[in-house]
Structure 1
Amino acid sequence: MAITAVLFDFSGTLFRLEHDDTWVRHLTDAGGDPLDLEAQTELMRRMTAPVGQVVDLDAEHQHAWEHRDLDPALHTKVYLEVLRQSGVPTVEQAEVLYDRLVDPLEWTPYPDTEAVLKGAAAHGLRIGVLSNIAFDIRPAFASRGLDAYVDEFVLSYEVGAIKPDPAIFRTALDRLGAGGPETLMVGDSEEADGGARALGCAFALVPPAPTAERTGGLLAALREHGALRAP
């Protein structure tokens, strides 16, 4: 069946959280020394990992971790704990870093994000962005004029379900007026995004690589599934 709709994951798929020196300039270790590059890199990995628990948690924070993408307050609580366990010694430092994590304007689009959204829209495809997330990502698109190409945003904290629960995919399909077999899901997690297969969707996996390294992965994914024609 021909593809008539495409669902895109957000983090690691259309956009990526990347940092420069301003992100970590204020950060120190417990001894007051600046964090080294290895520690900085590990912090970012832990903040953006799509699945998989990144630190050991007590029962209270375990509950927050498991429900973080359904409740902004729980998201804040558990990520401040993750940052504490990851070597950020003060609440004040952790809060500054966390605020950047949840600021949609801090996220960087992949080089082909605009081209793939424009191309899919021009091809007459219905487009949805489907994300396990606890903050509003729409400004990341609106600030670049990319919201014009997205028909629906389906965000876990707004709809009360998280991938790979079939309920969140069903909500997205219903909003797009599309059936599973005619929909392609594109994401960076086999575990979470691949759950779309339960509703009959095709699935394309893209690596959550740095934006400078993955320049054409989205376009290639759609072309491989016949959703876009090669130029």
Structure 2
Amino acid sequence: MREKPARQLRAETVIKAVIFDLYGTLLELTQDHRPFLQVAKHCTSLSVQAAIHKALVNDCPTLDSYASLLRLKTQLNLERLEQILADDLLKVRLFPDVRSALEKLQSRQVKIAVISNLATPYIRPFDSHNLRTHFDVILFSCECGLAKPDPAIYQRAIQQLNLAPEEILMVGDSYASDVVGPATAGIKGIHLVRSGEGSSASAVISGLESLFDFV
């Protein structure tokens, strides 16, 4: 299927780096039982949203470690949930336009970064699909203790890339986290809408091939 043309947002400044979101942008969760959410729902001391935030900004390699972090007293079949999580992660696939886009950016000597809100186990597919070698900067919320759309995580990316904000683009499927969020740090965001639905963003693409209308 021929990709829809990108809605243009040309910048006169030369783009020297592209920051990607991970899930929904580079990797697809084809099956998602949300096991961390199932554990979070049993937390009585925090709202579900606050409990999930703890999973995103703390290193919880297992659901058991996450349950301990939340100090859960409710008995859960964590072994079964771990099996479900492992199965979900095995079914994560790489979107077909990703590898070529990353290689093309590298060939143009454009720096590549990733910023993702995720719990620790969700790093596994990033490595199993051999993505790590493509990236100059990797900021996972569970490792750095910051989560989008906190302006501090975009500022950290800017510092590690050692570039001016206007020399950086961010691409992702979340309007709030990948367009509005980076704008607070002076980074232009491109909304990736693979479904073809509408978006209020100034720059919208339906696939990564159209990224090169901006780079």
Same fold (TM over 0.5): yes
In the TM superposition, what are the counterparts of 1:17-28 in structure 2 within 5 Å? 17-19=29-31
CA distance in 2, matches of 1:48, 1:217: 29
Q: Does 1:93 align with 2:83?
A: no
TM-score, length of structure 1 as denominator length? 0.66
What's the counterpart of residue 20 of structure 2?
A: 8
What's the counterpart of residue 172 of structure 1?
A: 157
CA distance in 2, matches of 1:192, 1:48: 20
CA contact (8 A) 1:130 1:154 kept: yes
CA distance in 2, matches of 1:59, 1:134: 20
CA contact (8 A) 1:152 1:176 kept: yes
In the TM superposition, what are the counterparts of 1:96-175 in structure 2 within 5 Å? 96-101=83-88, 103=89, 106-135=91-120, 140-175=125-160
Q: Does 1:184 align with 2:166?
A: no
Summarize the Cα distance change of 1:45–1:207 in structure 2 as closer, same or farther, 3 Å threshold.
Answer: farther
The Cα shift of 1:6 comes to 0.3
Q: Which amino acid aligns with 2:107?
A: A
The Cα shift of 1:91 comes to 4.4
TM-score, length of structure 2 as denominator length? 0.70
Identity across the alignment (%): 28
CA distance in 2, matches of 1:94, 1:138: 17
Q: Does 1:206 align with 2:198?
A: no
CA contact (8 A) 2:56 2:142 kept: yes
In the TM superposition, what are the counterparts of 1:9-88 in structure 2 within 5 Å? 9-19=21-31, 44=32, 58-60=44-46, 62=48, 63-73=50-60, 76=63, 77=66
Summarize the Cα distance change of 1:143–1:68 in structure 2 as closer, same or farther, 3 Å threshold.
Answer: closer
CA distance in 2, matches of 1:154, 1:136: 15
CA distance in 2, matches of 1:66, 1:137: 15
The Cα shift of 1:175 comes to 1.0
Summarize the Cα distance change of 1:65–1:218 in structure 2 as closer, same or farther, 3 Å threshold.
Answer: same
Q: Does 1:223 align with 2:212?
A: yes
Summarize the Cα distance change of 1:151–1:48 in structure 2 as closer, same or farther, 3 Å threshold.
Answer: farther
Bigger mean CA deviation after superposition, 157-166 or 90-99: 90-99
Q: SS of the residue aligned with 2:142?
A: helix
Cα RMSD (Å) of the superposition? 3.2
The runs of 5 or more residues in structure 1 that have no matched partner are 20-43, 82-88, 210-215
Give CA-to-partner distance per residue, 1:159-191, whole Å, 9 cap, x none: 111101111011111111122111110011111
